[in-house]
Amino acid sequence: MPMNQLRRDPVSGRWTIITLDKPVISDLISPNHREEESVENCPFCEGNEHMTPPEIMALRNDGFGPNKSGWRIRVIPDKKPVLQIYGEVNNRGMGMYDVLDGIGAHEIVIETPKHNETFVDLSEDQIAEIYWTFKERILDLKEDARLRYILVHKNYGEAVGLTTNHSYSFIIGTPITPKRVKDKLVNARDYFQFKERCIFCDIINQELSDQERIILEDEKFIALAPFASRRPFEVWILPRKHEAFYELTSEYRALANLTKEVLIRVYKLLQEPDYIMALYSGPNIKAGRRRGYWQSLERDFHWHIELMPRLRTYSSFEISAGFPINSVPPEYAASLLRNIS
Amino acid sequence: MPMNQLRRDPVSGRWTIITLDKPVISDLISPNHREEESVENCPFCEGNEHMTPPEIMALRNDGFGPNKSGWRIRVIPDKKPVLQIYGEVNNRGMGMYDVLDGIGAHEIVIETPKHNETFVDLSEDQIAEIYWTFKERILDLKEDARLRYILVHKNYGEAVGLTTNHSYSFIIGTPITPKRVKDKLVNARDYFQFKERCIFCDIINQELSDQERIILEDEKFIALAPFASRRPFEVWILPRKHEAFYELTSEYRALANLTKEVLIRVYKLLQEPDYIMALYSGPNIKAGRRRGYWQSLERDFHWHIELMPRLRTYSSFEISAGFPINSVPPEYAASLLRNIS
């Protein structure tokens, strides 16, 4: 199989991962329906460890060895990674265009040994351990100076491409900073240069003072409907304390409590919608040619989680203009999520 | 009904249109299915002109008056516009946030008097008249100095939100330049400053020399699979001649011929997929505070059309990272579309 490529569109500046093996066109037109699932053929189930590549790490009970039963959380490389871990980035021109080899990390965090247990069903303790695992993997991948950014994200539901009823998240490390992340980093840096304050800290203060878009808060974290929510019931979860990097020390349990409570409310209100969730931490300062570029990063960025229920697909205007239309004002979304029992 | 708002997310820089009337949540969860359609209840059908707001313009056969039968193409305001034409933009702060009133143009081009005739079924003459109509509307809307950008786009298929079998396009004029358009304008300007050449002219030269991603070409236009295609079978159509603005004089018929031929091939290869299409012309230089901002525009921008078949929805990685994954190399897509008979 040829190595995938990262290609930059010179007009939009957007990078795309192009998989270079030629697909069967009929598979694109009518994607195969999900196969009947069972615990026997699910590679993520306990007892089926031999069906996956060797694990990268796992949280295990005492007395069991790697790639055997007895784990609570297990991290494995994706069997068909879109980005592969071995090789050089090989940054080069092709005529006027820019190309990199498809180098990167593509890992799966299996969040429970049990099939049919969705993320929201997991105990707060289990979710806290998942959050701890994300941190461990991010810290480990940051040792790799080829990787500029490590994004943790999960999806739930067939509409967002989920193909199994076994709960998991993805960790993807990329040799360029993804566009959406870069937009955040650049705006946060520009704001800091102008105001000498963190833009996220300012948002937290603004929201605590307005009280219109706050959904839930505790001592450590705040969940809010962002002022310019792109989609109905978009939620951000932010730590109150200014921290650029997702490197919590003892707050996993508080984060787990709040996340689970938010998800339960979203589930009740919207009848278990499909959703996506992403964790945005600061980029890998070890990586890249432009180490000086993010020099104020520790002061100007602030890690956070985005949660987006998926109630409909994007329209032609939203895609062609890059201009979302949201039919639920965030103040209304927050009041519904705040008041649901 | 309160006026909709345009709100800017300070972190991503992205504007969102927020519709401020509170929706019924159950409608969001299970959108109403399409009602049974008939020529009797379709407001876009000939004879039903009284079911739409008064027309803005129409191409008519001799002897018929406005808002009556006898038209070939008809342009009307959207009955429920997301942006409304009357009022002031009212640019203001809300605490740390930026808000505009939802001012703009939201028009519908009814492309045929006949129901169940899709865009690709229309004659080349009819498509040429549609292209001419787009130009007329863009030129007229550019007289409105509140509108920074006018985007013409169309969608086909239920997956992209189409609710009728009557062929139409949207024309949306916005008081800010949409993010995706701005990315193009900024990159084209930066490229021109660096190279003193139009980036699109350079792309055309590169592609004509490579011959790997060209799908079709004639004397006036080129259809190609872009080097960093975001989606399988993405197609760009560009005029060979450098022109920033979509203000053709006599080339509508050539553009219609090429568009129809490309669409027929996409239809054959992919079995009538849903698709979106958008026409990107230069922005409205009459508009806005920053007239000097686009001063090299006539040299650095180059109008073009994007066509994107929609074979699947976006994944959580693509949405949360802003980083598309395309499973069909554009060289392969172009060869399939080039060679289909």
At residue B31, does pLDDT exceed 70? no
A335 interfaces chain B, CB cutoff of 8 Å: no
Portion 75-114 of A in contact with B at CB < 8 A: 82, 94-97
User: Which of B181, B273, B317 is nearest residue A153 as measured by Cβ atoms?
Assistant: B317
Three-class DSSP category at B24: coil
pLDDT score for B30 = 74
- Tell me whether residues B28 and A311 touch, CB distance under 8 A: yes
Name which of B78, B211, B265, B327 to mutate to probe chain A: the one with the most chain A Cβ atoms within 10 A of its Cβ. B327
DSSP for A55-110 reads PSEEEE-TT--TTSS-EEEEEEE-SS-SSBSSS----EEETTEEEEE-B-EEEEEE
Nearest CA in chain B to A225: B9
What are phi and psi for residue B131, nearest 5 degrees? -60, -40
B227-263: per-residue pLDDT in tens? 999 999 999 999 999 999 998 778 999 999 999 999 9
**How far, CA to CA in Å, does B146 sit from each of B89, B126, B287?**
7, 32, 6
User: Which of B11, B96, B170 is nearest residue A206 as measured by Cβ atoms?
Assistant: B96
B227 interfaces chain A, CB cutoff of 8 Å: yes
Name which of A3, A11, A276 to mutate to probe chain B: the one with the most chain B Cβ atoms within 10 A of its Cβ. A11
Q: How far apart are CA A73 and CA A113, in angstroms?
A: 7
Name which of A4, A15, A16, A163 to mutate to probe chain B: the one with the most chain B Cβ atoms within 10 A of its Cβ. A16
Q: How far apart are CA B149 and CA B283, in angstroms?
A: 5
pLDDT score for B288 = 59
Spell out which residues of chain A touch residue B202, defining contact as CB-CB under 8 Å: 96
Name which of A3, A6, A8, A9 to mutate to probe chain B: the one with the most chain B Cβ atoms within 10 A of its Cβ. A9
Q: Looking at CA atoms only, how far is residue B172 from chain A in angstroms?
A: 8
Q: Looking at CA atoms only, how far is residue A28 from chain B in angstroms?
A: 7
Q: How far apart are CA A229 and CA A336, in angstroms?
A: 15
pLDDT bracket for residue B120 (50, 70, 90): very high
At residue B160, does pLDDT exceed 80? no
B158 interfaces chain A, CB cutoff of 8 Å: no
At residue B67, does pLDDT exceed 70? yes
What is the spatial order of strands in the sheet that A92-94 belongs to? A92-94, A97-101, A5-8, A15-18, B325-326
pLDDT bracket for residue B33 (50, 70, 90): low
pLDDT score for A289 = 54
Looking at per-residue pLDDT, the higher value among B333 and B35 belongs to: B333
**How far, CA to CA in Å, does A329 sit from each of A16, A18, A227, B105, B331?**
32, 37, 9, 21, 43
A189-222: per-residue pLDDT in tens? 999 999 999 999 999 999 999 999 999 999 999 9
Q: What is the mean pLDDT of residues A296-323?
A: 89
Domains parsed from chain A with CATH numbers:
5-339 (3.30.428.10)
A168-179: per-residue pLDDT in tens? 999 999 999 999
Q: How far apart are CA B67 and CA B50, in angstroms?
A: 7
User: Which of A7, A314, A322 is nearest residue B228 as measured by Cβ atoms?
Assistant: A7
Spell out which residues of chain A touch residue B106, defining contact as CB-CB under 8 Å: none
Q: How far apart are CA B266 and CA B234, in angstroms?
A: 10
A339 interfaces chain B, CB cutoff of 8 Å: no
Q: Looking at CA atoms only, how far is residue A259 from chain B in angstroms?
A: 18
B208 interfaces chain A, CB cutoff of 8 Å: no
A85-137: per-residue pLDDT in tens? 999 889 999 999 999 999 999 999 999 999 989 999 999 999 999 999 999 99
What are phi and psi for residue A236, nearest 5 degrees? -115, 140
Structure tokens at A49: 């460890």
Q: How far apart are CA B234 and CA B224, in angstroms?
A: 8
- Tell me whether residues B180 and A323 touch, CB distance under 8 A: yes
Nearest CA in chain B to A150: B321
Percent share of chain A, pLDDT over 70:
94
Nearest CA in chain A to B326: A18
- Tell me whether residues A17 and B326 touch, CB distance under 8 A: yes
pLDDT bracket for residue B161 (50, 70, 90): low
- Tell me whether residues A228 and B8 touch, CB distance under 8 A: yes
pLDDT score for A298 = 82
Which uninterrupted H or E stretch holds A184? helix A179-195
B254-303: per-residue pLDDT in tens? 999 999 999 999 999 999 999 999 999 999 988 855 556 666 778 899 99
A190 interfaces chain B, CB cutoff of 8 Å: no
Portion 20-39 of B in contact with A at CB < 8 A: 20, 22-23, 25, 28-29, 31
pLDDT score for B296 = 74
At residue A155, does pLDDT exceed 90? no
pLDDT score for A20 = 87
Amino acid at A322: G
Q: How far apart are CA A117 and CA A270, in angstroms?
A: 19
User: Which of B12, B16, B314 is nearest residue A326 as measured by Cβ atoms?
Assistant: B16
- ipTM score for this prediction: 0.92
Spell out which residues of chain B touch residue A308, defining contact as CB-CB under 8 Å: 319
- Tell me whether residues B210 and A95 touch, CB distance under 8 A: yes
Per mean pLDDT, which range of A50-54, A309-313, B129-133, B324-328 is the poorest?
Answer: A309-313
